Structure 1
Amino acid sequence: MTSVKMSSIEWPAIVKLTQSDELLYLEHQRDWLELACLYQHHFIDTDQLLDSKGQRYLISACPQKIHEDPVGELPQLLRQKQDLPLNEFIKWVQNHAQALGQCCVAKLAFTTISQGIEIVRTLDE
């Protein structure tokens, strides 16, 4: 696991919080930076970011220290060796749809991670 440069992430992406079935859609890097700033002390080490290529990143929670520079507190993204299997992501999207009150979630299917991320975007509209 190594910390990544933001340029290696293929946007759009989603964030999967461990304690919620809802997925957070991130269109651009700036959406991640905004979320990271707002949520920085609430992430736990099993929260994940998944990019459009299926690359999985653990969100490394910030230490609870107070820095004068808030940018120093942003969580780090740690690239995982294993990409997220498509069938696991399908379950994430189905659980997300169910959490939003959608019906017929078992019929939600797609063949690529980027298609699934697009479904998350349309469900959130």
Structure 2
Amino acid sequence: MTTYINYPALLIWQGDDELSFASDPASLKALRENVITEDDRLVDSQGVCWLSQDGGQHWQPSGQIMPLVQLVSHIQAHYAQQGQCCVGKIQFKDRAAAINSVATAPEN
């Protein structure tokens, strides 16, 4: 299991369809301005799931890999929350493309 986060990454907020994009360590650090809990998950471009420690000060691999189909489901829910149409048709060839789409998606 990897011991470093492969960027880009997505922060999946527990109980919310909103996702937050982290392109690098500095942008992940900036997300700590929000309240990051131990129930929130970070998923990197290799699908490695990371657990928050100390409100996002440190991240530890959970030992789980998020399947691409599950990641796409999170992204579809995120887009639906933003009012995007036809989200069921959204597909990606790999996790990095899926994660990067959140950074480039138009906001409604």
> Larger C-alpha radius of gyration, 1 or 2?
1
TM-score (structure 2 length as normaliser): 0.87
User: Which residue among 49, 53, 60 is the counterpart of 2:53?
Assistant: 60
Percent identity over paired residues: 28
Q: CA RMSD in A?
A: 1.6
Rounded Cα–Cα distance in structure 2 between residues aligned with 1:124 and 1:50:
22
More strand by share: 2
Q: How many residues were matched structurally?
A: 105
Cα 1:124–1:31, aligned 2, differ >3 Å: closer, same or farther?
farther
Gaps of 5+ in 1: 63-73
TM-score by length of 1: 0.76
* Structure 1 letter corresponding to 2:82: L
Query: Hey, which of these two has a bigger chunk of helix by percent?
Result: 1
Q: What CA deviation, in whole Å up to 9, does each residue of 1:54-100 have, x standing for no partner?
A: 111011344xxxxxxxxxxx532120112111111010000010011
Q: Partner of 1:14 in structure 2?
A: 10
Matched letter for residue 55 of structure 1: V
1:1-125 superposed matches below 5 A: 8-36=4-32, 38-39=33-34, 42-62=35-55, 75-123=57-105
Moved segments of 4+, more than 3 Å:
none
